[in-house]
Amino acid sequence: MIWLDYSRVFSIFAVILIHVSMGVVLLNDVGTEFWWVGNFYDAFSRWCVPVFVMVSGALLLDENKAGNISSFYRKRVKKILIPLVFWTVFYLLWYVLKGQVLGYEIISSDIFEKLTTGTPHYHMWYLYMIAGLYLFSPFISRAICGLNDKELLFIISILFLMSSLTYIYTSFFSSSTDLFITTFIYYLPYFIFGYYINNFKSNIKIRYAYVLFTLSGLLTMVGFYITSFMSISVGQMYFYGFLSITVIPMSVSVFYIFNNFKFRQSRLVSSLSSLTFGVYLIHPVFLEAINFLGFGVTNLHPMLSVPGVSLVVIFLSGFATYIIKKIPYLDRVC
């Protein structure tokens, strides 16, 4: 489905925008011009990971309606397990290498925590989370395939409520970190909503989705501005979270827009879409290398440098992924 290919391509660029613009947010004082530019790019890109989850739901839950469990696992385990193991080892070695180059101490307990939380690198949590959704998707599919649109929407709403309340609690009232094996549970509503959008048509006018996206993006910006002045560290990043009360409606509205937009069939977009998984996995290497070499977002006004650096990173990551996919055996890692 071409609209899902476009969703992937736009989402991977938004992922890189987040990681690039976060540098601007962290390097500038709260409320300054540069800080607000970084906050703008970051806040309005927060839909990216939820859209990836919804794309997976649209494809996997549909696929499982007619397939059997054993064939699904045979097809999907290699697609997730091999990249997960490879990139976990890769980024742990990357962590050690950076420690040697930058001169910081390598602590074994940090490595243990990275493994138990599913974060051998800051972006790798997604791979651990999506593996949980893959594991249970055949059973989720069987549980929901007999429901009508109203019943399914009710379940999705309840799941979003539970996930958002849990995220409020963990953000403001708890400092504990979950094991990676439970993270996928909080993303179930996005996963099922992807199936819902792909199978049921809504009468909601598209302009309302644009309004919701704009309002939720602005509220994310303002919310992050307010929490940035909090005297305690807990909760400062809440509004940037993928389960915050502003990012959920932003993500849902973007996916609805993608589903209803009249995209043109494009071989280029389909080809780029096939590279997005690898780009997601490898892009921090290029971003960190660019920053280390002094060519990051601080060289120009962030209104230009954020999209500029993002384009360079996505080009290098896409080219590297393309090369990796041409190498026998190594092609399985992305």
Rg of the chain over CA atoms, in angstroms?
Answer: 20
Residue 64 has pLDDT above 90, yes or no: no
8: nearest Cα among 285, 294, 258:
258
Residue 67 has pLDDT above 70, yes or no: no
Helix residue spans in the chain (DSSP H): 2-27, 33-43, 48-66, 69-102, 108-116, 125-144, 149-172, 188-199, 206-227, 247-260, 267-273, 276-292, 302-325
| 242-262 residue pLDDT tens | 999 999 999 999 999 999 999
| CA distances to 207, 281, 321 from 88, in Å | 42, 10, 17
CA distance 179 to 176: 10
33: nearest Cα among 311, 303, 226:
303
CA distance 131 to 136: 9
CA distance 306 to 153: 37
**Residue 192, both tokens:** 């099922």
CA distance 302 to 307: 8
Higher pLDDT, 225 or 73: 225
- Band (pLDDT 50/70/90 cuts) for residue 195 is very high
| 140-182 residue pLDDT tens | 998 998 899 999 999 999 999 999 999 999 988 876 667 788 8
| 307-331 residue pLDDT tens | 999 999 999 999 999 999 999 999 9
Residue 63 has pLDDT above 80, yes or no: no
Give yes or no for a contact between 46 and 185, defined as CB atoms under 8 angstroms apart.
no
83: nearest Cα among 135, 131, 141:
131
